[in-house]
Structure 1
């Protein structure tokens, strides 16, 4: 199987897994992944993660021109911004409308610089700090501008009242990271108001140093 055929199958398989577990619903969410020659495979607009067709994924050339497949997701500005600002670290981008992440994003006292409380080691290891961005209308190119404004310093962001967006070196890493984001948001909601024991600054610093986490 060619690299492209394999990646097409992987996108559809992982998207269905996310859909089947309720991490995104209806026709929400989108995925992009980069081939070794710089081309991008992207999930089409209005498509359900539960019923993607590998042959109909949108295909972009290395210059960002649509060259095949169905019309792409309207959230392309989000994806393009990560590939532009983190070119050596981004091989895939995943965006979901996962419930606990969205719920946490609309609470009044969330830290916009780092929306996830340090409840577990794994959220820090896989995500670093998750920047909470303001609300944008879906498809608004300003979302891409907001990510460019971070100058490549964050691999994961949360769009308020919308959903998380995570970039990583490859598709599997991006999926695993966004799953960790949603699970940590779930823990944050479950323990809200219960005064949970958070990781200490020293414990966080040890994780950042040991796993080379982006924490600026």
Structure 2
């Protein structure tokens, strides 16, 4: 085990514990993976993210074959589809965050944007988040649907870093686990604000969003 791999194992456990302690995941819901030079690390199937063992994390080679650790999460194929679609994605976090799942049950704002751009930090830190139609947990078809959404967003010139699985929860990817966790938190908080406000707030105007693009490089 290299020093870098050991550090990533510890970081997965730290992020998992933080998400669990703050209620972003519960029981054995959710999973985390990171990309390695020789494959991937991913949390085991039916593992509680609050009590992960660094040595038990599953190591999978570039072809998806497990080489060490406990049995890999059944969402491995989905994570690999995200990595294949975005060379800058170095980690993926999936949770069953309460307000985001509640949003899909109540009805999202639109299939291409589950919530409107109601805060500047949502535009800056998250960007567009499309809804992926319901599939059973672990369905291999989910990877293809997410890949299609990522390709469509890239073609529009606004690459995405998250999708929402109907009735299941968000998948968020980024260049580091810390950045992915921050994006997830902003996404969940925006869903909470949208569900709590009545009447619903107006989205930011196009001029306001364009200012965020110019000042901060927002991908909207």
Question: Same fold, TM exceeding 0.5?
Answer: yes
Give aligned pairs, total: 212
Q: Distance in 2 between matches of 1:32 and 1:135?
A: 22
Q: Distance in 1 between matches of 2:144 and 2:213?
A: 28
- Structure 2: 5+ residue runs without aligned partners? none
Larger deviation, residues 73-82 vs 155-164: 73-82
- Structure 1: 5+ residue runs without aligned partners? none
**Counterpart of 1:67 in 2: which secondary structure?**
strand
Please identify which structure carries the higher helix content: 2
- CA deviation after TM superposition for structure 1 residue 60, in Å: 1.4
Q: After the TM superposition, which residues 104-123 of structure 1 pair with which residues of structure 2 at under 5 Å, given as runs?
A: 104-108=103-107, 110-123=109-122
**Counterpart of 2:93 in 1: which secondary structure?**
strand
* Counterpart residue number, 1:27: 28
* 2:66 is the alignment partner of 1:60: no
Cα–Cα, structure 1 residues 77 and 213, in superposed 2: closer, same or farther, change >3 Å?
farther
* Counterpart residue number, 1:184: 190
* 2:140 is the alignment partner of 1:141: yes
Q: Distance in 1 between matches of 2:77 and 2:216?
A: 30
TM-score by length of 2: 0.91
TM-score by length of 1: 0.93
* 2:20 is the alignment partner of 1:15: no
Q: Is the 8 A contact 2:39 2:62 kept in 1?
A: yes
Q: Distance in 1 between matches of 2:179 and 2:137?
A: 25
* Counterpart residue number, 2:42: 42
Q: Could you report, residue by residue, the CA deviation over 1:30-69 in whole angstroms, capped at 9, with x for unpaired residues?
A: 000123x242110000000111000000001233321111
**RMSD of aligned C-alpha atoms?**
1.5
